[in-house]
């Protein structure tokens, strides 16, 4: 029996270089409209950005401590987030008109995709009640954020997605209160002793993509 690639209808785009945040945001806006109009395929886009702080719709001015990098207001949910080299960004543009109009399920499934992928590298991570993002034990044994989640849904097509700390400069997070949560730190795979070959995280994400899409299909199949 021939197996069907769950991603065959979705464009899977990998950028090895750094894509400026504003350019990526403009491309997402255009792709969102094209998907909604039926003129383009859905998209999973993996990339990195030059250092940038982004403000979500609930960002508080007091959480921007040191605007040493470009600060961009964006339409995603959440507060301030840092993006930069060594962090893998996943922009996920899917049509919920055909995958189930349940934003909570989409976010939960997106989190599960990241958690399962991190587990493939020996990193136990989890959701935390009342705290957005993906959490694990930092090098000091205290709970720390290893991944950020932020989405926007327009015309029932998703935008933005997740960011996972592979080996970023963690001092860059000190310019903000990440996601408005001051009492917990941030960590990375490298800080936890996991060093990855180029492309390894992308390959692991793709291997887990079928489970992510299957979770959405269960919702779409409900009456």
Q: Is 179 a catalytic residue?
A: yes
Please report, for residues 8, 10, 59, 206, the alpha-carbon distance to residue 13 in angstroms, rounded to integers and kept in the order given.
12, 9, 29, 11
What is the Cα–Cα distance from 88 to 168, expressed in whole angstroms? 9
What is the Cα–Cα distance from 39 to 29, expressed in whole angstroms? 14
From 52, 149, 163, 179, the catalytic residue: 179
**Residues with catalytic roles:** 179
């Amino acid at each position: 029996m021939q197996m069907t690639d769950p991603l065959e209808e979705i464009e899977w785009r990998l950028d090895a270089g750094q894509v400026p945040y504003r350019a990526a945001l403009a491309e997402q806006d255009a792709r969102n409209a094209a998907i909604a109009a039926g003129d383009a395929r859905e998209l999973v886009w993996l990339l990195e950005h030059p250092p940038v702080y982004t403000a979500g719709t609930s960002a508080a001015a007091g959480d921007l401590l040191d605007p040493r990098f470009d600060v961009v207001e964006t339409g995603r949910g959440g507060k301030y987030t840092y993006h930069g080299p060594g962090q893998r960004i996943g922009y996920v543009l899917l049509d919920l008109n055909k995958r189930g109009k349940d934003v909570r399920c989409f976010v939960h499934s997106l989190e599960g995709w990241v958690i399962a992928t991190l587990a493939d590298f020996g990193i136990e991570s989890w959701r935390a009640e009342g705290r957005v993002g993906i959490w694990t034990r930092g090098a000091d044994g205290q709970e720390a954020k290893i991944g950020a989640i932020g989405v926007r849904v327009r015309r029932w097509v998703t935008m933005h997605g997740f960011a996972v700390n592979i080996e970023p400069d963690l001092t860059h997070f000190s310019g903000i209160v990440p996601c408005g949560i001051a009492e917990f730190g941030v960590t990375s795979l490298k800080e936890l002793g996991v060093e990855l070959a180029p492309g390894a995280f992308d390959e692991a994400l793709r291997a887990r993509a079928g489970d992510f899409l299957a979770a959405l299909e269960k919702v779409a199949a409900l009456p």
